[in-house]
Structure 1
Amino acid sequence: MAQYAKGQRDTRRDDTLAPSFGTWLKELPNLPIIWSSPVRPVRLGSEQRPADTPANRAPVLVFPGILSNDGATSLMRRTLGAAGFDAYPGKLGVVTGIKEAVFAKAQARLEEVHARHEKPVTLVGISLGGLYARVLAQRHPEMVARVVTLGTPFSGDRRANNAWRLYEAINDHSVDNPPLPDDPRQKPPVRTIAIWSPLDGVVAPACSRGEEGECDLAIEVPDKHFQFSASRRSINHLVELLIAEEEAGRD
Structure 2
Amino acid sequence: MDLIEYETILPPRVRNRLREFGVVMDMARLPFAYLRPRHKARPKHRIILLPGYGAGDLSLKPLAMFLRRSGFNVRTWGLGLNDASMSRLYPRVRDRVRSEYERYGQPVILLGWSMGGVLAREVTRDHPEWVEHVITLGSPIIGGPKYTIFARLYQSRGRDLDQVEERIKARYRKPIERPVTALYSRTDGVVSWEACIDKWSPTVEHREVASSHIGMGFSRKVFDILLDLLDDVVEKKADVN
Indicate the TM-score class for this superposition, using the shorter chain for normalisation: 0.7 to 0.9
Provide the residue aligned with 1:139 in structure 2: 126
CA–CA separation in structure 1 for the residues paired with 2:227 and 2:179: 17
Please report how far the alpha carbon of residue 156 of structure 1 lies from its aligned counterpart in structure 2 after TM superposition.
5.4
Local SS of the residue matching 2:72: coil
1:166 and 2:153 matched: yes
Closer/same/farther in 2, CA of residues 139 and 19 from structure 1, 3 Å limit: same
Q: What does residue 237 of structure 1 align with?
A: 225
TM-score under structure 1 length normalisation: 0.79
SS in 2 for 1:67: coil
Letter in 1 for 2:213: H
Give the match for residue 191 of structure 1. Answer: 179
Within 2, Cα distance between the matches of 1:43 and 1:24?
28
SS at match of 1:228: helix
Greater helix proportion: 2
- 2:116 corresponds to 1:125: no
1:15-34 aligned within 5 A: 16-30=9-23
**Cα gap change, 1:73 to 1:54, in 2 (>3 Å):** closer
**Residue in structure 2 matching 1:91, options 69, 72, 78:** 78
Q: How many residues align?
A: 229
| 1:110 and 1:143 in contact (8 A); partners too | yes
1:43 equivalent among 17, 34, 59: 34
Q: Which runs of 5 or more residues in structure 1 are unaligned?
A: 1-13
Query: Which residue pairs with 2:237 in the alignment?
Result: 249
Deviates more, 1:182-191 or 1:134-143: 182-191
Q: Retained in 1: the 8 A contact 2:26–2:220?
A: no
Question: Percent identity among equivalent residues?
Answer: 24
Structure 2 unmatched ranges of 5 or more: 1-6
Give the superposition deviation at 1:166.
Answer: 2.9
Q: Which residue in 1 is equivalent to 2:3? A: none
Taking a change above 3 Å as real, the CA distance of residues 76 and 132 of structure 1, as seen in their structure-2 partners, is same
Q: 1:4 matched to which residue of 2?
A: none
Deviation at 1:114, TM superposition (A): 1.3
Answer with 233-242 or 219-228: which moved more.
Answer: 233-242
1-side partners of 2:219 and 2:226: how far apart? 11
